[in-house]
Structure 1
Amino acid sequence: MEDNRYKLKQVCVQNPIFGPRNLGHYWGSMKDFVNNQYKHESYLVIDDIMAILMNPKEAHAIKNRTYFVLQDFINCGYDTEKNHVVLTSSYLPYIMEIVIFYADFIDYKFCNYLYENSFLGGLKSYQREELGLNLYPSVFELLYPQLGMPAVSLALETELFQGGEEIIGYTYIMNNIKNNIKKVYDDYNPPPVYEPSRNGYVLGLDGEYMFQHNSIFLSEDEDSIIEKIETIENKNILKDWLTSAGHKNVFEFYSIDTDFTYLKTLLKDILVNELKPFRENQLGIDYLDSIILSNYEKIKDQLVNHIGTIKKGIYKMSSTSINNNF
């Protein structure tokens, strides 16, 4: 067993609501996370609680999408024998206990402001009905999206919070929580530091932020990759993708190419070759389940120990308060 005592812990959070990962996920979090997996003790957190919360009607399908996410990370090179996989629904009772504790250290107005500016907070009533949500948000819906991942990261005592631009906000929440905790009792662990990826904002095929409708999926077939690249008309997309792939100098050398012929050909060759493992390595559900289960006891113990530490801190705080009153 590898000694991880002197390694920093890094966490990468993935929402499996859309299943297979695309180039935005790949360059926005996956590749750098996997490249650093032996330098740090690594935790891949697949937040299926959040996915189900966002779309309850798709709860049964989200399980399969979770498998796609894990499969894509393994095909990216993630070593599940030496690192960790955390499927949040497996630890729901422990996570909720930690969330409730940390909810005491964040202002309601701040939490509500974050919710109102989130995907769920911006839904109209008919959209909520289409997704299977109640007309008004539950307490869980208000708390979990803001505090779920901060709670898990703090419980795992991670030092690095890695990923694309969309997760930067969690670092502010964790800093806020830690600052408020320190006002009440000793808390020696600092919040995780955000570690940006090579390209936190990846352009889609249409020049907008890459999402499902304007992306190339990592497991997409070769002909589809070639066909989609051929449709690119914006030079900024080619620059963005080639830079993300580590070929910025090539782009600059051939940027005078007005019809982008060479740049598109180069990009096709790069992606067809680099994404080959994602197309060819289809992993069985039993195998993926075994990976998720193999981490269960270790992660559960870490969460339980953190809950114990929290309770000791509360007891110490309460005892001090009682003694000071006499």
Structure 2
Amino acid sequence: MTTTPPAPARLPAAERGSTTVTDRAVSRIAARAWAEELPRGDAALPSATVVRTGRTASVTLGVTLPYAADLAGTAERLRQHVARTTAALTGLTVPPPEVRVRALAGSGPATGGRLGRTRTGAGTHACATDAPRTADASAGPPEPAPAPARRPWSPRLGTALLVLGVGTAACAYLLAEGVARRTGHVLPGAPRPDVLHRVATTSLADPTTLVAGIAAVVLGLWLLGAAVLPGRRDRLPMTVRTTGTRATLDRSAIALLLRDEALAVPGVTSARVRVGRRRATVRALAGYGELDAVQHQLTASTGSALETLGVTRPPRPRVRLRAAPHRSEEAGA
């Protein structure tokens, strides 16, 4: 008589093993999720980095968005899609990713005039977007209040590393000097001045000590300012109406836009632009046409371009126009 051995007990699925989703897999899933929601011609895979904390994966995407489009709205919609898709496919907790727009890619001929916008007045403009807008404003929900605009905080990694390195080296040297004096040993590299003794016995009337003290105070004030001030003076904050989204615009980008606007004015043959935090200065040369008419049109074009940027505090325009050198020679002849 033969007996059949009992079948081994089957373990529950949760106890049979574990599945590990690597950071590389999470980053590729997030990149694919971002690309699948863009138009087919703009579906380039973004760069993605992942930082894991337990079961939470924080994703940072470096993307290229289509131009012209509602950047804040498009980015927010894609952020939510990437978070949902990545969490569903990996089983991890994925918050909405941080999006860094590296470039804008044109998806076809822009409508509405130059640079994809139609100016309807000094303070209003229309932009080409992915979805058509209805004329009836009462049909949709009211627009939320604009988020408070603030300058981004500068990381100042170079400053932090410099202070950390110098401070660590100085503290290590003083600690070793103090231990050597207490124990009666001599550190390698003697003879050298006794730093602790000189610091304790030096008078403030010594010119070298006075200069060193002033330099230390200046350095301390600079470090204090770096700690409490945001920095990034080359970026101007923009007004956005999407909660949790902040946007800034480089002053160099504003200068390029104003230069293009100036060169598009009939009569202007050369232009230089300098954009500060409070003022945008346009210096142009008029190769033909009446100077007064060119000046008026250039001023209006510059002011309209600044108002359409969406910057919280647009720089005040300053336009300086003069005749080109060949016109002065013709007038003298």
TM-score calculated relative to the size of structure 1: 0.20
TM-score calculated relative to the size of structure 2: 0.20
Higher strand share: 2
Higher helix share: 1
Larger radius of gyration: 2
